[in-house]
Structure 1
Amino acid sequence: MGALPFIGNMAGDRPTNLGVKAGKLAPCPASPNCVVSQGEADAEHSIAPLTYSGDSTQAMAKLTNVVKAMPRTTIVEATDTYLYAEFASKLMGFVDDVEFYLDPEASVIQVRSASRMGQSDLGVNRKRVEAIRQALATA
């Protein structure tokens, strides 16, 4: 018996709307597989930004270390104020795009976590952001 044939691209294509534009991360689509800490997000999509105390450079370094330590994670872009990582699911290799923006106006780190494919994420994006928040608090 041979291997099962590969059916489609489970990673999907990298979105073209990522990044910080006019101090904001992209809003979530209507599907329930995204959370964002900025904009006019409804309760289903809204999540609190990450807080930090002290130096913003150290906060971003700590965040980068926490994200790098998570399984199946690829850092795509990292600057002094922006971090973009791809997280792949263990079983099927679905990819979620997660962005962090150090917001100097609000003195917080804004966050957006969204699945590339499908409708429901079974709460994975929200759980990931909360796990990162917890790891930052104890790091």
Structure 2
Amino acid sequence: MLQRCFCLLISALCTLGILWVNPSPAHAFPADHPSIPMALPGLQGLFAGDSPTNLGVDHGQLAPCPASPNCISSQSRDPEHYIEPIAYQGDNQAAKSVLLDVLSVVPRTRIIEQGDRYVRVEFTTALMGFVDDGEFYFPDNENLIHLRSASRLGESDLGLNRRRMEQIRLAMRDLGV
């Protein structure tokens, strides 16, 4: 119980820290800007967690979300974890190109893997360096991008994964996707 309370407290502080410390628009800093973790060097990487081994696409499906509320997926049947996929017009390579352009300006975002129909990224929070894993899947014969984003550590992200993916959706829409 104490460990869970500690994780919730740290998660809340990090999320509030993101809103308090870095209220600037996403395009104000390049994606590799070190931001706040440099101000707290002892904390940088401490809350990164290990990269999950179940990421990727398996038989057309992204990994299911765990029971914790810090994960969202467009393939989830659970309303708490569900997020709409991103719909687009045209071919998937053009949509993927726009997605990569958008991701290049999201602060503290690193592309880990990309293929013809899949992109995996790591999003790092500004204050404590928590890492969230983001996935984008372009299924054949569908003009959709399936999304998944999950925190590696903690119980709650106070909606950060959902807000981040909705911002990516809006940026893509603004760019004509």
TM over 0.5, yes or no? yes
Query: In structure 2, what is the equivalent of residue 29 of structure 1?
Result: 66
Query: In structure 2, what is the equivalent of residue 17 of structure 1?
Result: 54
Aligned-residue identity in percent: 54
Aligned residues: 136
- RMSD over aligned CA atoms reads 1.7
Taking the aligned partners of 2:133 and 2:141, their CA distance within structure 1 comes to: 24
* Kept after mapping to 1: 8 A contact 2:90/2:143: no
Q: Which runs of 5+ in 1 are unaligned?
A: none
Taking the aligned partners of 1:82 and 1:110, their CA distance within structure 2 comes to: 9
- For normalisation by structure 2, the TM-score amounts to 0.73
* Kept after mapping to 1: 8 A contact 2:46/2:129: no
The question of 1:127 aligning with 2:167 is answered no
More helix by share: 2
Query: In structure 2, what is the equivalent of residue 100 of structure 1?
Result: 136
Change in Cα spacing, 1:138 to 1:5, as seen in structure 2 (3 Å) is closer
Query: In structure 2, what is the equivalent of residue 71 of structure 1?
Result: 107
Taking the aligned partners of 1:105 and 1:123, their CA distance within structure 2 comes to: 31
Q: CA deviation at 1:79?
A: 1.2
Taking the aligned partners of 1:10 and 1:87, their CA distance within structure 2 comes to: 12
DSSP-derived class of the 1:103 partner: coil
CA deviations on 1:33-89 (whole Å, 9 max, x unpaired) are 00000142x111000001110121100011011011100010000111000000000
Q: CA deviation at 1:105?
A: 4.0
Query: In structure 1, what is the equivalent of residue 91 of structure 2?
Result: 55
More strand by share: 1
* Kept after mapping to 1: 8 A contact 2:86/2:146: yes
Q: CA deviation at 1:5?
A: 8.6
Taking the aligned partners of 2:41 and 2:141, their CA distance within structure 1 comes to: 50
